Amino acid sequence: MQLTLKVDQGQGEYEVKTNLYVIVTWERKFKRKASDIQSAGIGMEDLAFMAYEASKQAGVTIPAMFDDFIKRLVTLEVVETESTNPTGEASGDN
Domain boundaries, the chain: 2-82
Per residue of the chain (94 residues), give pLDDT as tens.
789 999 999 999 999 999 999 999 999 999 989 887 777 788 999 999 999 999 999 999 999 999 999 999 999 999 987 765 544 555 555 5
Per-residue pLDDT, 84: 53
How far, rounded to the nearest angstrom, does the alpha carbon of residue 87 sit from its chain's CA centroid?
21
Q: Output the DSSP codes for 43-66.
A: -HHHHHHHHHHHHHHHT----SSH
For 25, list phi and psi in degrees, rounded to 5: -60, -40
User: Which residues, at least 6 apart from 20, have a Cβ–Cβ distance to it below 8 Å?
Assistant: 84
Look at the pTM and tell me if it is higher than 0.85.
no
End-to-end CA distance of the chain: 32
